[in-house]
């Protein structure tokens, strides 16, 4: 028996594996996009500007050295040369700033385009993932992963091109210049200092990585709790739980703050260790130059020469520490995002799957077995048929598997065994896009986008025009409401449609389905949350909508489906009874028992009201 895998937890080993070369290898295509020549030209131009800036920096210390040495000699001609060197030095500094900023201007589109592509890729992947994934993950945590991951790619592109590569070139260039001017001692001292700097940076940053991972986890937890609490604002108010929600949120933010303090303190320790290495090298190099000057080997200008080169070298070295930390943290953020991208899509189209073609919109369950977890089976060999054009109802006790049927029809999950057929075609063999295009649903809780009424109705089909929206609103008996609203179809419905009543939301959902105009309609307890009067109004509308379509109504209140062409009674995941309302009452079985209980409850409620 084939069973669907549960949502996989985070594997720390797998995540650590991603943070190294695997993540970097997946990142590199964004550094040189093969399918976009214009961006490659931009990257090439930015690299040329980087080289121009480096060349300028190599020349600047020579200009300053020559100016200082010239000042030790008197004479008008020497003064002229000293002034020219100083002016050239100032022009070179200005040129370096120009090159760096032109480089940023040229490269900006590359970074933004890479960020955009990755964000679109992740967003598309989230919509491809199964319902199981979205039920298991918190929205706040997912959005935080996407936000950190997409932001990190722009930063990493920038640092790899404009910090790491130029720093390596500068290190090699300075080593050659120091060898030519001072010999091997200063080159060796500089190399040892750079190696020590890199080792200290890496060692402390590895320690900080664990703190960063903990910060990310606690940050996501705090955001998830805040989002969850605000989405359930009314429930919080109902149960006077503001204090409890604040305490839960405060617990998460306090844990995050503690982790953040440790992380920032470790940063201070890293900066101190880096500064120690850098200033020891500076002291040794300058002392060596002064010693050579005292022996007559070097000029005063060479002291400035060494100091300027080391200052220029220390600047990217100082940045190298921050760059390493940023890239290391970026790899963590991107690894988590790539893990999201790599999450297995549970329900996939078969290779070369054709589109669903419907001539007779029949719906058939053929010995379907399914459960959400391996140790709990919901549907146990369920078989039934909804003939084309029929209005069939599904009823049964809570937990019988009624709503599961709607999820299986839409192929949010696949059965463990058995088949679901539409017009004789197994829905696993056709594309999901064509399958869902043929299906419409009015759920129990109709969630709307925080947009206008017109937008929510038109959402039923891409490209729907205003005339279709108005016609759908009229058939869903919405025009009375819309005519009373000052902004009409442009009226905002609020988050999840909370500005509308339950009946108004259901009518918008019905109109949205009418715009879609599907041949098969599912009504998943579409009136169970409504009062009796609104329920009867919505039922009248639903009956008109279902006319001429194949419809499957999942109902809790039996009175709403008494006039169905056939009623299917589910019990413990199996078909217990089927027939018309009258036939089932005559059988005096489970349906008749449920009918009697509901009738008794209605009668007691009426007596209590009197």
Q: What is the pLDDT of residues 277-335, one digit of tens each?
A: 878 887 877 787 778 777 777 777 777 777 777 777 777 776 666 777 677 777 777 88
Distance (Å, whole) CA 106 – CA 46 = 6
Chain centroid to CA 502: 31
Based on the fold, state whether residues 374 and 495 are members of the same structural domain.
no
Are 521 and 390 contacting, i.e. CB atoms less than 8 angstroms apart? no
Name every residue whose Cβ is closer than 8 Å to that of residue 590 and which is 6 or more positions away in sequence: 396, 569, 571, 576, 577
Bridge pairing between strands 550-554 and 520-524: parallel
Based on the fold, state whether residues 285 and 413 are members of the same structural domain.
no
Helix (H) or strand (E) holding 325: helix 300-342
* Structural domain contains residue 47: yes
- The pLDDT of residue 12: 41
- The pLDDT of residue 419: 93
Distance (Å, whole) CA 388 – CA 361 = 5
Based on the fold, state whether residues 481 and 537 are members of the same structural domain.
no
Q: 393 is in which domain, residue-wise? A: 355-438+518-610
Q: How far is CA 204 from CA 68, 189, 313, 324, in A?
A: 41, 22, 22, 11
* Structural domain contains residue 2: no
Based on the fold, state whether residues 134 and 68 are members of the same structural domain.
yes
Regions of the chain short of the pLDDT cut 50 = 1-18
* Structural domain contains residue 1: no
Cα torsion 110, 111, 116, 119: sign: positive
Based on the fold, state whether residues 456 and 497 are members of the same structural domain.
yes
Are 466 and 454 contacting, i.e. CB atoms less than 8 angstroms apart? yes
Based on the fold, state whether residues 548 and 433 are members of the same structural domain.
yes
Give the pair of three-digit tokens for residue 533.
């009067």
Q: How far apart are the first and last CA of the chain?
A: 56
Q: Which residue has the tokens 């594309």?
A: 431
Helix (H) or strand (E) holding 522: strand 520-524
Helix-helix angle 184-231:165-182, to 10 degrees? 160
Distance (Å, whole) CA 18 – CA 25 = 10
Q: How far is CA 387 from CA 7, 391, 541, 569, in A?
A: 36, 8, 22, 17
- The pLDDT of residue 366: 93
Query: Rounded to the nearest 10 degrees, how much is the dihedral formed by the CA atoms of 205, 210, 211, 212?
Result: 80
pTM for the whole structure: 0.63
Among 517, 541, 561, the domain-final residue is 517
- The pLDDT of residue 521: 87
Based on the fold, state whether residues 419 and 284 are members of the same structural domain.
no
Among 342, 366, 394, the domain-final residue is 342
Based on the fold, state whether residues 332 and 361 are members of the same structural domain.
no
Q: What is the CATH number of the domain that holds 470?
A: 3.40.50.300
Question: Collapsing DSSP states into helix, strand and coil, what is residue 183?
Answer: coil
Distance (Å, whole) CA 152 – CA 147 = 9
Name every residue whose Cβ is closer than 8 Å to that of residue 211 and which is 6 or more positions away in sequence: 259, 262, 263, 266
Give the residue from 537, 472, 546, 471 showing the smallest Cα distance to 502.
537
Helix-helix angle 242-294:300-342, to 10 degrees? 150
Based on the fold, state whether residues 224 and 277 are members of the same structural domain.
yes
- Could you give the residue ranges of the DSSP H alpha helices within 129-164? 131-136, 139-159
Give the residue from 565, 527, 526 showing the smallest Cα distance to 549.
565
Are 50 and 103 contacting, i.e. CB atoms less than 8 angstroms apart? yes
Based on the fold, state whether residues 504 and 553 are members of the same structural domain.
no
Give the residue from 495, 552, 490, 497 showing the smallest Cα distance to 519.
552
- The pLDDT of residue 488: 87
Distance (Å, whole) CA 87 – CA 466 = 69
Length of the chain: 610
Question: Collapsing DSSP states into helix, strand and coil, what is residue 21?
Answer: helix
* Structural domain contains residue 305: yes
- The pLDDT of residue 421: 93
How crowded is the C-beta side of 207, counted as CA atoms within 13 Å? Answer: 13
Among 463, 489, 517, the domain-final residue is 517
Burial class (CB in 10 A: 0-12, 13-18, 19+), 484: exposed
* Structural domain contains residue 9: no
């Amino acid at each position: 028996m084939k069973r669907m895998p549960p949502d996989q937890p985070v594997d720390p080993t797998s995540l650590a594996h991603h943070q190294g070369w695997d993540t970097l290898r997946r990142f590199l295509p964004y550094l040189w996009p093969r399918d976009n020549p214009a961006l490659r030209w931009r990257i090439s131009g930015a690299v040329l500007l980087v080289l121009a800036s480096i060349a300028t920096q190599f020349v600047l210390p020579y200009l300053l050295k020559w100016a200082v040495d010239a000042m030790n000699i008197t004479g008008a001609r020497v003064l002229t040369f000293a002034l020219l060197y100083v002016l050239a030095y100032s022009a070179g500094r200005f040129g370096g700033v120009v090159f760096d900023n032109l480089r940023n201007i040229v490269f900006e589109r590359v970074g933004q385009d890479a960020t955009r592509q990755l964000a679109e890729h992740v967003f598309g992947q989230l919509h491809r993932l199964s319902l199981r994934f979205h039920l298991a993950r918190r929205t706040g945590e997912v959005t935080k992963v996407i936000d950190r991951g997409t932001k990190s790619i722009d930063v990493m592109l920038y640092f790899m091109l404009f910090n790491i590569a130029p720093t390596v070139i500068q290190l090699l260039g300075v080593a050659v210049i120091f060898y030519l001017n001072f010999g091997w001692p200063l080159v060796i001292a500089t190399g040892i200092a750079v190696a020590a700097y890199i080792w200290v940076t890496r060692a402390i940053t590895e320690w900080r990585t664990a703190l960063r991972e903990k910060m990310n986890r606690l940050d996501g937890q705090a955001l998830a709790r805040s989002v969850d609490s605000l989405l359930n604002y009314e429930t919080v108010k109902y149960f006077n739980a503001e204090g409890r929600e604040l305490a839960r949120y405060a617990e998460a933010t306090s844990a995050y703050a503690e982790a953040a303090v440790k992380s920032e303190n470790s940063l201070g320790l890293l900066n101190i260790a880096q500064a120690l290495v850098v200033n020891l090298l500076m002291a040794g190099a300058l002392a060596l130059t002064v010693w050579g000057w005292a022996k007559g080997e070097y000029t005063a200008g060479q002291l400035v020469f060494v100091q300027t080169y080391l200052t220029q070298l220390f600047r990217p070295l100082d940045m190298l520490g921050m760059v390493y930390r940023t890239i290391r943290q970026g790899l963590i953020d991107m690894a988590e995002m790539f893990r999201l991208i790599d999450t297995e899509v549970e329900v996939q189209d078969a290779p070369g799957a054709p589109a669903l073609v419907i001539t007779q919109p029949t719906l058939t369950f053929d010995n379907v077995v399914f459960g959400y977890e391996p140790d709990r089976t919901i549907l146990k060999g369920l078989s039934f048929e909804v003939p084309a054009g029929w209005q069939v109802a599904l009823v049964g006790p809570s937990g019988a598997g009624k709503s599961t049927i709607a999820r299986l029809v839409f192929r949010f999950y696949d059965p463990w065994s058995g088949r679901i057929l539409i017009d004789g075609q197994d829905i696993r063999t056709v594309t999901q896009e064509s399958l869902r295009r043929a299906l419409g649903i009015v759920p129990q809780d109709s969630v709307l986008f925080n947009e206008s009424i017109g937008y929510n109705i038109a959402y039923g089909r891409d490209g729907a025009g205003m005339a279709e929206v108005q016609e759908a609103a009229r058939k869903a008996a919405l025009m009375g409401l819309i005519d009373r609203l000052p902004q009409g179809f442009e009226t905002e419905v609020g988050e999840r449609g909370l500005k509308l009543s339950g009946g108004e939301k259901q009518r918008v959902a019905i109109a949205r389905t009418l715009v879609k105009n599907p041949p098969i309609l599912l009504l998943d307890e579409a009136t169970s949350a409504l009062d009796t009067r609104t329920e009867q109004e919505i039922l009248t509308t639903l009956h008109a909508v279902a006319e001429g379509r194949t419809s499957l109504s999942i109902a809790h209140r039996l009175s709403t489906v008494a006039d169905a062409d056939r009623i299917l009674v589910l019990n413990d995941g199996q078909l217990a009874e089927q027939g018309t309302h009258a036939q089932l009452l005559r059988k005096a079985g489970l349906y008749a028992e449920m009918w009697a209980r509901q009738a008794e409850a209605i009668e007691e409620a009426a007596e209590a009201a009197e």
